[in-house]
Amino acid sequence: MERKNAWNAYDEAALEKVEKAAQGYKKFIDQGKTERECAYQAIETAKAAGYTSLEEAIVQGKAVKPGDKLYQVQMGKAVMLFHVGKQPIERGMNIVGAHIDSPRIDVKQNPFYEDNDIAYADTHYYGGIKKYQWVARALALHGVVAKKDGTLVNVVIGEDDGDPVVGISDLLIHLSQEQMVKKASEVIGGEDLDIMLAGRPLQGADKEPVKAMLLSILKEKYGLEEEDMLSAEIEAVPAGKSRDYGLDRSMILGYGHDDRVCAYAEIEAMLQLPAVPEYTCCCLLADKEEIGSVGATGMQAKYFENAVAELLALTTGKESNLALRRALANSRMLSCDVSAGFDPLFASAFEKKNAAFLGRGVCYNKFTGSRGKSGSNDANAEFLGRLRKVMDDHDIAWQTAELGRVDLGGGGTIAYICALYGMEVIDSGVPVLSMHAPQEIINKADLYEAIRAYTVFMTDMGPRA
């Protein structure tokens, strides 16, 4: 049951669409290197397409009718888009859900110090990373600083051509005999990921003059004091733009494909829906998946459930907890998260018959988890059967996969959390090489097929029999 390469089916018109999607996506990830930046782009794109604020509709007590398009934001880091359909929401929604956080290095709350004429920032890495991959490379700083007066200062340093970059130094090979015999997980320690920020003393400063220079720059450029870092969220991410990858330009190299490639595909799919879809469609962009979907912006929080409750009240004119439970239980969902692409250089990590391949289309993982499917949402066969029909009816290039060899691989998504409502859920995403590295690789065809798959899922997927 080997799947065909999607590129073989494309005519010139399709190739133009593939490239258009790729260029739009590269712009999206270049401007969205943090969850806040991705959320902002999603909201601005939605508003340009006619979406209005659910929050404002709630305040105004505005009646919502089929065809209406609304958005809701959770603390600037999670986004929900709703396109109301003909059928009552109680009959279920067609949901596509991704996460917009990615592995990175976070600056600590009390970060700055000076050591032997170099000013550093203490950090704490976020998500599952190979720490040695983050040293000896150009990093940029993205984030926000919340001042005591309520002012929010946006920070982006290292992306413009004239900007300086920062980074983490590594030990030269000539002195690395002890380092080179360590396990890969120990080559660089978590407390060794301190970012080098400055190396020039401030004239006239008696104490920690290089740190004083750093603080003077932050004061001059951003109006920030050292104590303002106590209420800051600054993330160190790879500097620079995404690039076409491969001499044939068939792939994209960039930071944060996991899982912003699926987030972008979802947003694009929402824009392609008919004026009034049959069932209410929802694009869900969550935060904190890389650390367990916890916190007020993670999928384990109740903001999605609350938003659906509010939407139900505005469409029916009444509040009903039972209607909410029915709406969630009757819904269909694609948990849109990337899968591990088969890498011939590391073939032993995969079971080839059940692996995802770059260029063969959007990938469906019936289950994730680890070892004995621990922690997995295992999608029911009936749902997968209906999904196969929808995909094949629209000639979508798709494949199935597991995340690595049994007892070796494993991973999780937001699928199991949404499945707790009783809705039908399956994982669906784009195959990725070098996942969780500072630079990941996807195939443009898989991105294009994901957009197509998410669109037809929302337009054609109906309730269970």
d(CA 334, CA 282): 11
The model's pTM is: 0.96
With beta carbons less than 8 A apart as the criterion, state whether 458 and 277 touch: yes
Query: Does residue 438 register a pLDDT over 80?
Result: yes
Question: How would you classify the pairing of strands 139-146 and 232-238?
Answer: antiparallel
Which of the two residues, 188 and 403, has the higher pLDDT score?
A: 188
Query: Does residue 89 register a pLDDT over 90?
Result: yes
d(CA 305, CA 328): 8
- Report the mean per-residue pLDDT for the chain: 95
In this predicted structure, what is the pLDDT of residue 12?
Answer: 98
3-state secondary structure of 378: coil
With beta carbons less than 8 A apart as the criterion, state whether 86 and 277 touch: yes
Domains 6-102+255-460 and 104-238 share a fold: no
In this predicted structure, what is the pLDDT of residue 410?
Answer: 73
Q: Taking the domains of the chain in order of start, what are their residue ranges?
A: 6-102+255-460, 104-238
3-state secondary structure of 437: coil
Average pLDDT of 312-328? 94
Give Cβ neighbours of residue 60 (< 8 Å, ≥ 6 apart): none
In this predicted structure, what is the pLDDT of residue 76?
Answer: 97
Angle value at C-alpha 324, between 391 and 72, nearest 5 degrees? 75
With beta carbons less than 8 A apart as the criterion, state whether 53 and 292 touch: no
Q: What is the pLDDT of residues 348-377, one digit of tens each?
A: 999 999 999 999 999 999 888 778 787 788
Q: What is the pLDDT of residues 63-75, one digit of tens each?
A: 999 999 999 999 9
> The domain 6-102+255-460: what is its CATH number?
3.40.630.10
> The domain 104-238: what is its CATH number?
2.30.250.10
Q: DSSP string spanning 337-375?
A: --EEBP-GGGGGGS-GGG-B-TTS-EEEES--EETTTBT
| Long-range contacts of the stretch 48-54 (C-beta < 8 A, 24+) | 49/270, 49/271, 51/81, 54/80, 54/82, 54/307, 54/310, 54/311
